[in-house]
Amino acid sequence: MQDIFWGIVIVAIGIITGGSVFLGELSLFNVFFDGLGVFFIGKGAVSMMGTKDEPTASATQPDALQSVDSNEGTVKPVE
């Protein structure tokens, strides 16, 4: 998330100062810094996509581990 923020900051500085490729100002300096900003935005997006697929622990037991006895855990009355 931090990479996306800093990428946006780099691109925004270029736009505010008027030296950005996105404004049509093509120079080596502008291409370098806008490319750097886009790189950081992409890097942050890829890292966010990678963390989304992490498995989470499940509280339920698989079918193979469930008990066969349906009376298990019940309280028997005292005679």
Q: Walk along the chain (79 residues) and give the pLDDT tens digit of each residue.
A: 899 999 999 999 999 998 888 888 889 999 999 999 999 999 999 988 887 655 666 556 555 555 555 666 666 777 6
| Angle at alpha carbon of residue 66, lines to 65 and 68, rounded to 5° | 120
- C-alpha count within 13 angstroms, C-beta hemisphere, residue 67: 5
The answer to pTM > 0.75 is no
pLDDT on residue 69: 58
For 60, counting Cβ atoms within 10 Å of its Cβ (0-12 exposed, 13-18 middle, 19+ buried), the class is exposed
